[in-house]
Amino acid sequence: MTDGFTFSKNDRGFSEKSFAFLRKTIIPTAKYLFKPRITNPENLPQTGPCFIYGNHSNYFDPFLINVNMFKEPTAGVMTRDQFHKTIPRIFMDSIGIVPTSKYVPEPGIIRSVMKMIDQNRMIVIFPEGGRRWDGKPKPLIETTLKLFWKMNIPVHPVQIHGSYLGWPRWADHYRKCSMELRFMDPLHASDFDCYEEFARLCRNQIEFDEYHSPIDTRPPQSKKPAAGVERFLYRCPKTGENGAVYSPDGERVCSRTSAMSYRMTASSRLVDADGEEHSLIDLFERINQMPMVFMKDDLLLEKSGAELYKIDENHKLVNVGRSNTELRKDVLKIFSGSDHFEIPIQDIQYTSIEQNHKLTVTTTESTLQINLEGQSALQWQRYIRRLNKGENAVKSI
């Protein structure tokens, strides 16, 4: 009944009723949870056309940017996965958000953005292409930077301090804190002699490590801060065993294959039995530096009973059914009833993670989405990328 429903919009491309509703619901929720403080409010735009971009680690980042925008909402692009859900689709569409696939070039997006510019919209884009897992900067998508350059409208950088620690991507629970939204001086492509100089400054504006955010943005307390940590620490940092890390109570971080035991603070720091503090990010980096290890023969990872979806030519999510998925050294194998997919690793063009557990794999022929609930989608993505770069796995560490 609601599949095709949309709000009627004004000539600016948004529904005034929907905008009023979101300001009375989502914005107060964002303010309650994260107590945003606006720095340099004189740099905060109130209308367009302009771009707004920033670092992205938290579900609420787009709404936090809108906290002090009382006259009109921002437009922008959002991962297509959210548009597969009816209620988010209706409200995102109502304020001028258009769906896109992460990292996959889509010419239609450029046309949508140009229409937003014609409507004098403020356009929010997160050019890293997705939320940060470790709080560290990700490479900015070059086509987004070129879009900033070619459209020749003001580009407003915003640094969202406290975004990662306020709700780490891997975590089950948010942490109430006081975020700082630091609006930087706007950039104008016409002020630069060349694209490279402009792009370099765009990168520099949000190239900071969120794990080491200002003290006043760090959460003072949290409910079960370690819950979900196995999505992030997908191997034991000492033995390299897959899936060994767990939290028995949402506060302690332990391993089934070593004596590792820490207590996690609200700011995602790890404290050992002697009271010494350790970096969660250091453990993550140690895991990523370990060689990939075969489970048996040429098998690296496997998942039984994973829900499998195929994204059709109309970008609709089609449920294929339960599947058995295997990542081998040269191929990704997926078996679902009579459907059998064998995707050579070198044919995989893009991978992305939706929410925390859905791995999307794109080739020239198809796009598949695998629900890896119970395992680390991050591990699957990183292994595929490492294999794609030609890295070899080993039989044992």
CA 369 – CA 358 distance, rounded (Å): 6
Contact call for residues 330 and 344 (beta carbons, < 8 A): yes
Give the residue carrying structure tokens 């301090």: 161
Q: How far apart are CA 377 and CA 6, in angstroms?
A: 33
Alpha-carbon radius of gyration of the chain: 22
Q: Which residues face 281 on adjacent strands?
A: none
> For the domain bounded by 299-388, which CATH number is listed?
2.30.29.30
Do strands 269-271 and 261-264 pair parallel, antiparallel, or not at all (unpaired)? antiparallel
CA dihedral 233, 158, 110, 81 (to 10 degrees): 30
DSSP, collapsed to helix, strand or coil, labels residue 331 as strand
18-69 pLDDT, tens per residue? 999 999 999 999 999 999 999 999 999 999 999 999 999 999 999 999 999 9
**What pLDDT sits at residue 59?**
92
* pLDDT 10s digits, 209-243: 999 999 999 999 999 999 999 999 999 999 999 99
The whole-model pTM stands at 0.93
pLDDT at 108: 81
* Angle of CA points 240, 241, 244, to nearest 5°: 120
- Nearest-angstrom CA–CA distance, 328 and 311: 23
Among 129, 121, 227, 220, residue whose Cα is nearest residue 175: 220
Amino acid making up residue 368: L
- Please enumerate, as own/partner, the contacts of 248-255 that have beta carbons within 8 Å and a separation of 24 or more: 249/224, 250/172, 250/223, 250/224, 250/225, 250/226, 251/224, 251/225, 251/226, 252/226, 253/226, 253/229
> According to the model, what pLDDT value does residue 104 have?
63
Q: State residue 218's pLDDT score.
A: 97
- Fold match, 16-217 / 299-388: no
Residue 365 CB neighbour total at 10 angstroms:
8
Three-state SS at 299: strand
Q: Considering the domain 16-217, what is its CATH architecture?
A: 3-Layer(aba) Sandwich (3.40)
8 Å CB contact between 220 and 179 = no
Domain ranges of the chain: 16-217, 229-289, 299-388
Task: Please list, in sequence order, all residues whose beta carbon lies within 8 angstroms of the beta carbon of residue 42, skipping any fewer than 6 positions away.
Answer: none
Residue at 282: amino acid letter = D
Report residues of the chain scoring pLDDT below 50. Answer: none
Q: Cβ–Cβ contacts within 10 Å for residue 4, how many?
A: 5
Measured distance CA(184)–CA(157) in Å, rounded:
5
Predicted confidence at residue 3, as pLDDT, reads 62
Query: Residues 241-247: contacts with CB within 8 Å, 24+ apart?
Result: 242/295, 242/301, 242/379, 243/375, 243/376
